[in-house]
Chains A and B, each alone.
Chain A
Amino acid sequence: MEVRVNNLTKRFGKTTAVDQINITFQDGKLTGLLGPSGCGKSTTLYMIAGLESATEGQIIFGDQDVTTWMPEKRNIGLVFQNYALYPHMTLRENIAFPLSNMKDPETGKKYTRQKRNEMVEEIAKLVQIENMLDRKPGQLSGGQQQRVAIARALVKKPDVLLLDEPLSNLDARLRMEMRTEIRRIQQESKVTTIFVTHDQEEAMSITDEIVLMKHGVVQQIADPHEMYLNPSNDFVASFMGNPPISYVDVQVKDGFAVLDNGMKLPYHTDYCGAAKMGIRPEAWAVGGDIGVKLTDVEMRGQDQVVSFALGKNRIRAILNAEEYVRSGQEIGLRLLEKRCYLFHPETGVRL
């Protein structure tokens, strides 16, 4: 089911947590709500869930305005950051709990015990916890609890699945594992999914589309490729990518971007005048006529991150691991123009 929010706004007293956002979450897709903490992404999710009321605007599921509906009427599944499993119930009881509160759409009566068990087992198989259904949540690891929480959210076949930072309580290795699991489960169940995270790598790796927010305002809505390769402003460019993009202040004219110290970088554009130029670390390659002196070299294995000064700006670049460079060394670099972006020096908007 497609989910739309129109001019959705949330104010807490005088502070505006979410400011007039318009988003369409496509049917059957996994959409990431991404942004730094306090950007309003979780508030947005909770408004969609109905656990927070909207100050202004509408929330539309399919063709129905659900803005003032109670959460239990919206047919959603929600996975909490700390899972919020019922600690006194077994996994089976946890997962069956939503079913015990609803009527079987086929018969119009309560689910039979047998039907309920079948549904629980089926969903347990999907999230791969079928052999531990009689345990209690306290006996499980974080990753397993996560699977139970997802199963509980999915068992009632919700129209929308909402995930609130579901991976943040896991250690690094499990996080990698679980994010591919979430992707797999989402693709198998084909449920419209909204996934809140503050981790850009997480968002890029598993989502179909990313909504990037800052201070309650949507910055850009795009698929991961588009978001990384074609950022709409300097915040988006900075937020996506690790190591982050570096900036230099330049004057652009005649196919060159000129730094304060007179250094010229080749850049072909119609624009002419002052700009903030963002250079992705992978835009650099060894062997060119831009001479720099390396101040720092971090070997990462598959590649290496080097730092150097360009005018008064510190630049980070990713170089091929095979190039043997040392800190203090002077080398010549060349620049891939298509990995450089020009932003307005004050507003930060992409030029």
Chain B
Amino acid sequence: MEKVKTAKKEKQPKYRLVEMSDGTLRVRSAWAYAYILPAMALLLLFTLYPLVMVLRTAFYQKYIYITNTGTGFGMSSFIWVLKDPTFWMACKNTLILLLIALPITLVIALGAALLINSIKKLQGFFQTVYFLPYVTSTIAIGMAFLWLFHSDYGYINYFLEFLGIPPQKWLTDPDLMIVTLSIFSIWNGLAFKILLFLAGLQKINKQVYQAARIDGASPAKTLFRITLPLLSPTIWMVILVSVIYVARTFNEVYAMFVSYAGGAAGTGNAAITIMYYIYWMFYDQGKVNYAAAAAILFLIVIILITVVQRVVSKKFVHYV
């Protein structure tokens, strides 16, 4: 080595490699901002900014939508919403969907998934059929249900008459409307849950079942001691996803009970949900600050539910 040449400093790289604590290699470079900029810009404009604005609007005492100006900060919008019987009706209906319709959906979906998973032939066929409602438009399929529930021409009343039950006014009787909405929601919500349960069941190691057979466990015991405990993370995840989803029920209400854009959710608003209440306040009633207050209340509840779920899942859903 006669001449040790100092390598001419070519282009100095604009980044530095960093080894993270978990062994992954990260690049330290300002280019990262360029990659997240497009998504971040839309996020700021259409999620974060409106969130702040909705919060602001909710605290206005008077608000003029066209000019986007309001006067007087205070809790009056919240108080008004909390005193509005329609809001409480929306809460009640949403709770019925959450506490009655959703558990029914989950049980049926779990049963269907277990059945499909236990058969050998036509598994794919049944899976495909049961999943169809997920991909089809709720509005379109709602039109079919609208007519099936029709008090004069509907097949459901015809079928009930067959069983000796007098025809019901499914779509106009304020006491029955939430039942109708629940039935439609159950039918509409099954597909997604069956699919997720099946995916969870198929992830369970088949040899564990063989081991259970060798160990002499009866089918019922296998279900309760092996399958359900092993499926519990999936069950919990499905509950997590669907609670938020059901709390946001809107399309089903619109499809079944709303006759024109912005109209009330059926006779006396009896089928209203929280989400529909927000929309209705905003779009039809034009009381934007009330809609915003309802939205904030809704958001608080959603965040509370999420936090509770996090805590519960940390406490109870851990194995392996």
Contacts and interface: CB of A to CB of B under 8 A. Distances in A.
Contacts of A88: 229-230, 232, 319-320
Nearest to A101: B216
A100 B226 CA distance: 13
Interface in A277-323: none
B229 A72 contact: no
Interface string A136-174: 111000000000000011001000000000000000000
A98 interface: yes
Main secondary structure of the interface of A (DSSP, over half): loop
Contacts of B21: none
Nearest to B218: A101
A88 B218 CA distance: 18
A119 B90 CA distance: 59
A101 B207 contact: no
Q: Which of B207, B211, B221, B226 has the most chain A CB within a 10 Å cutoff? A: B211
A101 B221 CA distance: 9
B137 interface: no
A136 B211 contact: no
Interface residues of A, number: 27
A72 B213 contact: yes
Main secondary structure of the interface of B (DSSP, over half): helix
Interface string B212-247: 111111100100011001101000000000000000
B320 A138 contact: yes
A16 to B, nearest CB: 22
B207 A80 contact: yes
A89 B225 CA distance: 9
A193 B214 CA distance: 16
Nearest to B222: A101
A76 B139 CA distance: 57
Contact of A97 (B217, B230, B232): B217
Nearest to B208: A84
Interface of A: 49, 51, 70-72, 76-78, 80-82, 84-89, 97-98, 101-102, 136-138, 152-153, 156
25 contacts: A49-B214, A51-B214, A71-B210, A72-B214, A72-B215, A72-B216, A78-B210, A78-B211, A80-B211, A81-B207, A84-B205, A84-B210, A85-B208, A85-B211, A86-B211, A86-B212, A86-B225, A87-B319, A97-B215, A98-B214, A98-B215, A136-B319, A152-B211, A156-B215, A156-B216
The 3 closest A-B pairs by CB, nearest first: A84-B207, A72-B216, A101-B216
